[in-house]
Amino acid sequence: MSLPFPEYDTLDGLAIADLVRRGEVSATEVTDAALARVQARNPRLNAVVRPLDAFGRDMARRVDPAAPFAGVPMLIKDLMATIAGVPTSHGTRVMQKVTPGHDSALVARYRRAGAVFVGKANTPELGLTPFTESEALGPARNPWDVTRTPGGSSGGSGAAVAARIVPIAHGGDGGGSIRIPASCTGVFGLKPSRGRMPTGPDLGDVWRGFVQEHVLTRTVRDSAAMLDATAGEDVGAPLSCPPQARPYLDEVTTEPGALRIAVTASPFFGSRVHPDCVAALDDAAALLASLGHHVERDEPVVEGQQLARDFLTVVAAECRADLAWMGEQLQRAPRRDDVEVATWALGLLGQAFQASDYAASMRRLQMAGRTCGEFLTRYDLLVTPTLGSPPFPIGALQPSSTERAALALLGRFGLGGALKAAGLLDETAKKVFGFMPYTPLFNVTGQPAMSVPLYWNAQGLPIGTQVVARVGDEATLFRVAGQLERARPWTGRVPPLD
* pLDDT greater than 90 at residue 238: yes
CB 208 within 8 A of CB 188: no
Dist. CA 365–CA 363, nearest whole Å: 5
Mean pLDDT of 84-109: 97
Of 464, 397, 488, which Cα lies nearest the Cα of 144?
464
Residue in 143, 183, 150, 186 with CA at minimum distance from that of residue 77: 150
pTM over 0.95: yes
Residues with active-site annotation: 77, 153, 177
Q: What is the CATH number of the domain that holds 215?
A: 3.90.1300.10
Q: What is the pLDDT of residue 424?
A: 65
Residue 111 in contact with residue 86, Cβ under 8 Å?
no
3-state helix, strand, coil in the chain (%, to 5): 45, 15, 45
Burial class (CB in 10 A: 0-12, 13-18, 19+), 403: middle
pLDDT of residue 354: 93
Sheet holding 260-263, edge to edge: 48-51, 116-121, 73-77, 168-173, 212-217, 188-191, 449-456, 462-468, 381-385, 260-263, 294-297
Residue 416 scores a pLDDT above 90: no
| Domain containing residue 331 | 1-498
| Model confidence at 319: pLDDT above 90 | yes
If one counts the domains in the chain, the total is 1
pLDDT at 92 over 60: yes
Instruction: Say how many residues make up the chain.
Output: 498
Peptide bond into 68 cis (omega under 30): no
Q: Of the candidates 314, 349, 353, which has an alpha carbon nearest to the alpha carbon of residue 440?
A: 314
Question: Would you state the pLDDT for residue 421?
Answer: 56
Q: Which pLDDT score, from 0 to 100, does residue 430 have?
A: 80
